[in-house]
Structure 1
């Protein structure tokens, strides 16, 4: 059947019909763009009203140059001018930080820290599986067994999201209840389910605190649900679904802020008051700040909420001079895209670049991210300052498309500012879920982390990619990604894991992002 509906006809459509179709497509594109832009405006106005009502209006003000992140102190968190306690955590000096890239490295460190715990282990997560093994070692214990053994000599507290009210997606409430029972059965582990979430949202942070001396903050869940969290930088296609992620391991005064955040949530979810965290002595030279998303009216400890992750991202992006590098599961925050689009239209320097690493097929929100990327491509206007990429698995020069899921939540700006944590760049993470990130003020670590990530994605040693970021993007990232896209388009064998993010164009559907923003943000 051809396009005219005639069975067996091979007659091509007439030129007039082609022109009508093109005009119709163009008209739909204009309507979609205008409606999308209008909905973007509604989302912005809604967020502005909401944050203004809560005393957080300055987060969305581009001209507010109050650099709250410049404070370096070991005092308690400061307050905003209108008395919103906890408006920003202090910058803590004197920390040691290790950035773990991919779960194979990160989870081995978590397993070692838990096994050596002396007084307590506190874990907060979106979900955790009792049978999950933190390493691939043949004799590695399941998480429930590891925690049960430690609980014989130390306090083990596990705080998990209670699951969605309706079983529309995983983990369901039945799955979570079963998991919680699996951790506590015949053990001294205490597991509490936290259902103090906003409707349609969740508790998404991923934290491990051991003895008040070290903490892990990042994006890696302690579960095998959906994909292989123990993947390594090789991302070979012998796993059900490869997984690219990142987490930080922290020592020093910043650990007290992570511990206090857990204690605040635990007090309200479990009804148990934990002793105030002691501030550990200096352990390194790095200044770090805790940033959170805590929706208003969710907890008594933050009645007006905490939106410091959004604050940190927007301030860093507004100040970007040469490079914005983002790895994230989603990119459909109107506010974030607004800042990036402005930077692309008015670049601070000729060598300004925005490089994005996103999943090929996110588990939800794919069309949403594509629509917002269309905005960025339009702002770039063919000047090649923007590049959106993804990665696939690779083994013996044979690529298995779609088998690596980009789940990392990493932001690097100008090799000066680095954030790692649980927050995605969408309305869920920046306004409505509970999230925890850390922000590092350490150029050496920011650059080293970027080079390690780029080495993995480009499959090159770090000394080959240590030049100016714009040159590496123009001479390696873009040619490799475009060549692999050409090979895919022509049915030729792929030779590299890197490729352009598919289905992105200046005419991508614009309604998805702002419409989703309105629907999910009450």
Structure 2
């Protein structure tokens, strides 16, 4: 018999077949005498059968010495069989060829803490090296929680013959990192079998923030919630709460202008000659501190980067006595204590809490009318904003969630008691008030690492809340925010859009943020990372017109909000911007390990086993009505983004008329020019008949 064929099957060290590999057969008589016989590929079960004529190994040679090479699809050598000498069989049957010595795969399983499989989670394998990492592959867990990746050694062997493998588990959209294996160094196994990866099921699934745990911290039901749109309304409610306090007033703020006027006489949209100051915030706090049985505690940011007002506020109260007002600083170096919260009568059934949008500076005060000229905003304007109109959103609540906000204040206050006041005036545990309404609320926070011993690892709860909601969105994501520079938030949006082609994103942001370096980052996130213009994304800005020197004046309204709304199921209002320092770390400022203190309230509406209240849809309609004008009764056939685009286009057209006006609402499309006049010109608006207030 004359040998004219060889067959076999290629498997890995676990016995799994390896399809699609290149197989080459040689007659090896010793270097340099090596005759190529045939090549082919393994089939779906890893098998191969190659045929060649006897003449291929020489007319004078009757029995070849057969060697089989197994190569990757890219041609990298994976394995060489031991030489079979003087082969006489017509078909040389090699049986199973087990790859060893060269890594071509990794596999494992993901389970919850009860040992049950978790399906659909995204798995990413990476080869770590000195200059970063080479992606080995991406897959998802099956119904049994199992996953497997195969790859060619060419993806990792430029710098090393053996990979150093790390496996990362993400949520189903590929947004949130849930777990990561330790590094497996110099992997020689053809298939690395990773031990079971355990992930708490609550951390992997759903809308609720878990901080990587099995429970859901600071989630409560039975709350009554009031969203306060624009700071004139928020400031009036704040003064009312302080004035009604019977036991305690706790206030945390970024900054307080000692002359900040919270309310004015009358509530007319347009001030008159009869309009004058009604209530100063510090006066309200002072009067509360004079009432029998009421203690007032004020905690202010102290920061090496951002100017603070701690000395001015202390001096203001020092000049007035007697009172029970205690003012403390919360010092941080690079980060800021950006959480702006008020709690009155914590622990009592009458407890109230607010998460406040703006610092107490007059330039942030504004009404829903957003007048171009309003003396109630003061004469100096807010830092980086000037005298622009300002749009902002705060939130007030009663019920169990007030205790979660109160505990955040206590966490910071008691830390300062220990560090700077020898343990004096530490606050006791907060009793949770009874239910008073129907709204479910989760309080989420950002806390820097090592800032507070009780939370030494820090918290990124606000980021997780956004990531979960964006990943769960089905129809429209609405983001109304002062900044748009967070890499993690943009990554979440990019992944969500990729997996859901019908999802729409509406951004209401500033073209000129008050931090100048953010503008470049914002543009990179929008163009470089989201690929704008993008058919699923619309970006818009807020404007106002009014009479100025006998002509039509126009100016951009500064959006200071921190609002996110997903479908009609989820909303957040709070102090956290969509920038790195509020969420994942200040990468835009090249300090990726720094995160500020932030507090947000998340409203859950008919999801995560929470009751449907209609609160999220009502909030969305309220905001959109202010920005767009009257809304249609139902979703437009092309989605809500089409409505925003139509209203913005109508405003562009009407501003170019002989009598410029905003026809529907106050929005215009986002532009990338620096100055307001250039942005309007970029939209094709003739500004010769207008006064552009930059």
Please report how far the alpha carbon of residue 141 of structure 1 lies from its aligned counterpart in structure 2 after TM superposition.
Answer: 2.6
Change (3 A) 1:319 1:78: closer
Structure 1 pair 396–377 and aligned structure 2 pair: CA distance change class (3 A): farther
Change (3 A) 1:57 1:294: farther
Q: Is the 8 A contact 1:100 1:248 kept in 2?
A: yes
Q: CA deviation at 1:277?
A: 1.1
The answer (yes or no) to whether the contact 2:391–2:557 under 8 Å persists in 1 is yes
Residue 403 (structure 1) shift: 4.2
1:254 aligned to 2:423?
A: no
Q: Secondary structure at the match of 1:261?
A: helix
Calculate the TM-score normalised by the size of structure 2. Answer: 0.57
8 Å contact from structure 2 (residues 484, 522) kept in 1: yes
| Matched residue, 2:486 | 333
Secondary structure of 2:453 counterpart: coil
Instruction: Give SS of 1:151's match.
Output: helix
Which of 95, 99, 108 is the equivalent residue of 2:227?
99
- Report the CA distance shift for 1:139/1:491 in structure 2 as closer, same or farther (over 3 A): closer
Which structure carries more helix by proportion?
Answer: 1
Which 5+ residue runs of structure 2 have no aligned equivalent?
A: 1-130, 136-168, 180-198, 266-275, 375-386, 419-424, 585-594, 606-611, 675-694
2:597 is aligned to 434
The 2-side partners of 1:399 and 1:302 are apart by 53
Figure out how many residues of one structure are paired with residues of the other and give that number: 429
The answer for the alignment partner of 1:3 in structure 2 is none
Instruction: Give yes or no for the alignment of 1:151 onto 2:151.
Output: no
Contact 1:70–1:91 under 8 Å retained in 2: no
- Residue 140 of structure 1: SS of its match in structure 2? strand
Deviations 1:166-196 (A, max 9, x none): 5xx5xx24x431233224432421111111x
Q: Paired residue for 1:209?
A: 343
1:389 alignment counterpart? 540
Inter-CA distance 248–469: structure 2 relative to 1 (3 Å threshold):
farther
Which among 303, 315, 330 is matched to residue 194 of structure 1?
330
> With structure 1 as the length reference, what TM-score do the two structures score?
0.75
State whether residues 335 and 448 of structure 2, in contact with CA within 8 Å, keep that contact through their aligned partners in structure 1.
no
Map 1:367-382 to 2 at 5 A. Answer: 367-375=520-528, 378=531, 382=534
Provide the residue aligned with 2:380 in structure 1: none
Higher-strand-fraction structure: 2
* Inter-partner Cα distance in structure 1 for 2:472 and 2:178: 10
Q: CA deviation at 1:273?
A: 1.1
**CA RMSD between the two structures:** 3.3
CA pair 95-491 structure 1, distance change in 2 beyond 3 A: same
Residue number among 283, 292, 305 corresponding to 2:436 in the alignment: 283
SS for the counterpart of 2:404 is helix
Instruction: Give the secondary-structure state (helix, strand or coil) at the position aligned to 2:261.
Output: coil
Of residues 269-278 and 103-112 in structure 1, the stretch that sits farther from structure 2 once superposed is: 269-278
Distance in 2, Cα, partners of 1:245 & 1:492: 30
Partner of 1:455: 625
- Aligned counterpart for 2:646 among listed residues 456, 479, 494: 479
User: Larger radius of gyration, structure 1 or 2?
Assistant: 2
CA distance in 2, matches of 1:80, 1:338: 20
Query: How many angstroms does 1:409 deviate by?
Result: 0.4
Assess, with a 3 A threshold, how the Cα gap between structure 1 residues 143 and 81 changes in structure 2: closer, same or farther: closer
Q: Which residue of 2 aligns with 1:515?
A: none
Q: Confirm whether residue 244 of structure 1 aligns to residue 386 of structure 2.
A: no
Greater relative contact order (CA < 8 Å, ≥ 6 in sequence) = 1
| In 2: Cα distance, 1:152 partner to 1:344 partner | 55
Retained in 2: the 8 A contact 1:124–1:159?
yes
2:494 is paired with a residue whose SS is helix
List aligned pairs for 1:25-424, cutoff 5 A: 60-61=176-177, 66-67=201-202, 80=212, 89-137=217-265, 138=276, 140-153=278-291, 154-163=294-303, 165=304, 172-173=307-308, 175-187=309-321, 188=323, 189-195=325-331, 197=332, 199-212=333-346, 213-224=351-362, 227-229=363-365, 231-239=366-374, 240-271=387-418, 272-349=425-502, 352-364=503-515, 365-375=518-528, 378=531, 382-383=534-535, 385-395=536-546, 400-424=553-577
- C-alpha displacement of 1:79: 7.8
Question: Structure 1 474/294 Cα, relative in aligned 2: closer, same or farther at 3 Å?
Answer: closer
Asked if the contact 2:264/2:279 (under 8 Å) is kept, the reply is no
Task: Identify if the C-alpha distance between structure 1 residues 65 and 113 changes in structure 2 by more than 3 Å, giving closer, same or farther.
Answer: same
Instruction: Give the corresponding residue for 1:445.
Output: 615
